[in-house]
């Protein structure tokens, strides 16, 4: 670099060009894809929502809870406490179930995460339970 003082000018100019044109183009290209943003149909919200998809997600969660322990009597709420559409066909459902005998049922709250793969929303094969957690008894 000592022998060629113009090298400093070329180096600084090259860094300026990369910062000004190359980096913004790469960032815009990466964040502009549907992979990063999704589509309007795929939703995504941090606020609780209630629609046909969250209702179906609630039903899928209830079925999963019921099938996981068929020996225990379970009575499910008619609707979830809260449900979220977190985008890309993923839903979180917060609900409760009364388990045990009819005299002294025990309320158990649960959170369930489900994924809708697409297709007919009424087809149980298009839904997958990704996680299920119960509150402490």
Name the pTM for this structure.
Answer: 0.66
- Taking the C-alpha atoms of residue 6 and residue 102, their distance in angstroms, rounded to an integer, is 88
Backbone φ and ψ of 128, nearest 5°: -130, 130
Digits of tens for pLDDT over the chain (137 positions)? 566 777 778 888 888 888 888 777 777 666 555 444 444 455 567 788 888 899 999 999 999 988 877 767 888 889 999 999 888 888 999 999 988 877 888 888 999 999 998 888 888 889 999 999 988 76
Fold of the domain spanning 40-134: Nuclear Transport Factor 2; Chain: A, (3.10.450)
Residue pair 89/118 in contact (Cβ under 8 Å)? The answer is yes
**Sequence spans of domains, the chain:** 6-37, 40-134
pLDDT tens-place string over residues 78-104: 999 999 988 888 899 999 998 887 788
What is the distance in angstroms between the CA of the first residue and the CA of the last residue of the chain? 72
């Amino acid at each position: 670099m000592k022998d060629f003082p113009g090298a400093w000018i070329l180096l600084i100019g090259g860094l300026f060009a990369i910062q000004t044109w190359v980096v913004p183009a790469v960032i815009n290209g990466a964040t502009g894809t549907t992979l990063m943003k999704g589509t309007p149909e795929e939703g995504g919200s941090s606020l609780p929502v209630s629609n046909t998809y969250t209702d179906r997600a609630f039903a899928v969660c209830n079925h999963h809870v019921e099938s996981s322990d068929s020996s225990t009597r379970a009575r499910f709420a008619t609707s979830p406490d809260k449900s979220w559409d977190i985008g890309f066909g993923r839903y979180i459902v917060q609900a409760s179930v009364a388990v045990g005998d009819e005299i002294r049922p025990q309320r158990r709250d649960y959170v369930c995460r489900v994924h809708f793969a697409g297709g007919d929303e009424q087809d149980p094969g298009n839904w997958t339970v990704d996680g299920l957690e119960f509150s402490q008894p």
